[in-house]
Structure 1
Amino acid sequence: MIESLLSAQLLFAAAVLGALYALIGLGLNLVYGTMRLLNIAHGDILMVGAFAAFWWFTLTSLSPLIALPLIAVFGAAIGLALYFALFRHQLAQELDASVIEGRSLLLFFGVSVVTQNVTALLFTATPRAYRHLDEVYRFGDLAMTGNRIAALVCAVTLLIAMLIFLKKTLFGIEIRALIQHREAARIVGVNVEKVQMVAISIGFAVTAIAGTLLSMTEQTNPFMGFRFTIAAFVVIIIGGLGNIRGGIIAGFLLAVMEIYAVTIFSAEARSILIYGGFVLAIILRPQGLLGVRKRA
């Protein structure tokens, strides 16, 4: 039993899913951490990225990996449009964080419903999929498809690039400062509005890229986003709000819980263990895995 649990096949599956969860959680962490916006339409942005990848491949027969920069720009444009249309004025008023959270929850709920139904109206609710990089590579007992290898490599590369960006660049340092303490960041000269625009652009772009990578391994449909919205919130709560490294670790931890729950018990046990772990994390370590607390 132990040997089967430590099999390379399960570890590879957990690594791929964990990298995608970490990437999805990163996008939400940037948006909520910098602006306190409760983006419950987060998974729908992922869905839009997945549909963009599907139609790119269908219409051009070219790899969706080639379209990653274009889809990232498309995701960033959606983020900026929502920022200017719905949130810029409210954020400029310096309202209490609880007010921002409550309003954004309702606004993003509307965005989610509209996005899902417009997509279903345009493309129907029929699940769609395409075959790309589906060759199987075997290394001993480990069988890997090319699309999962590509998803893992791209996701890990982007996660590393984001960690470097947040640690080494001026904008990255300003984003981290805004996450840690909004007023202190403003006092030391951080251009809060510009940083908010950068954060929401990157957050939506990263999420759209995650949708592209996911589309190579799963079916795409207009209502697929809710599962990933929940996963993203679990990741940032377990990892710690605004804690990028903690969120990445939590993404892999969540994937391990999911893969091994299904393997040991059944598919029905997946949700029980995931949300049970979520509740325990809130009760026992509300500041997240690495102990970083969000200051008002």
Structure 2
Amino acid sequence: PRGLADWRSLLAHDPELVAAPIESLPLHHDFDDFGLYTARSGWDTDAAFVGLRCGPASAESATARLGFDFGESHLLPNQGDFSFFLWGKFILPGCEYPKLKLTSNHNVIVFEGRDTQAGRLVGQLGEGGPWFNAAGPTDPDRDYASRASTPRVLHREHTARYHHHLCELGGLYRLRDERAPDGVVFTEYTRSLVFLPDSAVAVVDRVRTPHPRTAHFRLLTALDRLTPDEHGFAFDLWGVPGRINDYSPVAFARTAAVEHLSAATNADQRVATLRAENVTEAVFAVVIGVGAGTRYRIVTDARGYDLLDGDGDNATALRVNWPATH
């Protein structure tokens, strides 16, 4: 038979696995082979959950067997993307099934295009069509095979208070720029993501380019209300106040608008954007929190940042330094 019957699922049975109550399972797991990282606050229906993507387009084991990272048509140009689920509702869902594979459909940075890319938001290699553009050199400005490096997790740490991943993403952004000697530049891009199980996520991004560029830090929300103010964005979840607090060291332009994404379902989403205009380096720093989770703060400096829990001498919950090579 043809059509939907061609799409089948396989269920494997391992008799050596012993059944266990779900409450006994660990609250986090790093799926390093594929580059998928998950953590949750518990197994109850009101739990908080975060999922992060950072790794090769295909699994490392498959890449090693083939000798190259071939990608698959249903993959997404969304390295560094994350989702945040709390109290039975997605706050940051990202895009559902996309009609076009675009990085702008996800919670990650995109750049305003120049030269032959002018007039569009340029994302990661692999974007632009209904299927993930895996192989080159058909279009070196879009094909994943043109990347300068493969995304990877540089550092991870799991404690009772937080789960932290530091990701390298820069080699996926191939920007046309008439000011460069060969007309092409790759960005530097490091993302630090901290999940705080008591209802918060901290995200700090640093991007660098050889020539001034304009970068958009985007958060795609499933919120009914998202209001910009002098400190970031306000919203509520089941009647509880929440915030996207902006601790970036520079005051970037902030907007909140409903966008129609290229998606088959739930295409209209409220998007919070921080826009860094015409810069060679930008650090975006936000905390997304609800209720008690709004108390966390970020203080940045030239070397990295401190994530603070409250005030006073014992306020520092985590110190993160940028990689020495950047």
- State the TM-score, normalizing by the size of structure 2: 0.24
Which is strand-richer, 1 or 2?
Answer: 2
Q: Between Structure 1 and Structure 2, whose CA radius of gyration is higher? A: 2
Which is helix-richer, 1 or 2?
Answer: 1
Greater RCO (Cα-Cα under 8 Å, separation 6 or more): 1
